[in-house]
Amino acid sequence: MSKDAGEQPGIVAALVRSSFLVNAVYAEAAREYGLTPQQGQLLCVLMAQPYGMSELGAMLRLAKSSLTELVDRTTRRGLARREPDPRDGRVVRVALTAQGGKLAEAFYTETCRRIEELPAGLGGADRDTLTELLGRVVRDNKVPPVFGERDQSAAHGR
């Protein structure tokens, strides 16, 4: 069932192993910044803008109780805050605090740097092909923008 390290894995194994690799890098970076991987995800999502709890739950694919716990822990650390939605007073949004914004920016920058190193052995054309193919997989599966590109964050005033 398992292949030697030198053999080309199939699509399932390649995707799963790639996911494990990215998750490990993400978790290591989060640990170094004193975050859980889930807190790191939350901070990165909130870099773009504040979101309502239902939007966050859908983006992070978390049950309401798990999301509430995550937001509570992050709020207690002073990294995020709950605020009323200006369009609907019944809705509570979650936003970064100034401290959370600084930590999110540092964590995001370092995580991007580390993940960008993963395909270092690929040439420019192969990197472009990998980017295009993974982008299609993400789009086809309607993956929410839980981790945006640097220029997308800058476009939102960050």
Domain of residue 85, CATH code: 1.10.10.10
Say if 5 falls within a structural domain: no
- Tens of pLDDT, residue by residue over 99-140, are 999 999 999 999 999 999 999 999 999 999 999 999 999 999
Say if 90 falls within a structural domain: yes
Q: What is the DSSP letter of 62?
A: -
Mean pLDDT of 71-93: 93
φ/ψ region of 146 (left if φ > 0, alpha if ψ in -120 to 50, else beta) reads alpha
Q: Is the pLDDT of residue 151 over 80?
A: no
Say if 3 falls within a structural domain: no
The phi and psi torsions of 86 (rounded to 5 degrees) equal: -65, -20
Say if 43 falls within a structural domain: yes
Tokens 């937001």 map to which residue? 71
Mean pLDDT of 86-102: 93
Say if 2 falls within a structural domain: no
- Tens of pLDDT, residue by residue over 22-81, are 999 999 999 999 999 999 999 999 999 999 999 999 999 999 999 999 999 999 999 999
**Confidence band, pLDDT 50/70/90 cuts, at residue 153:** very low
Say if 151 falls within a structural domain: yes
- Tens of pLDDT, residue by residue over 4-13, are 566 788 999 9
Domain with 47, as residue range(s), is: 20-155
Say if 11 falls within a structural domain: no
The phi and psi torsions of 145 (rounded to 5 degrees) equal: -75, 70
Number of structural domains the chain divides into: 1
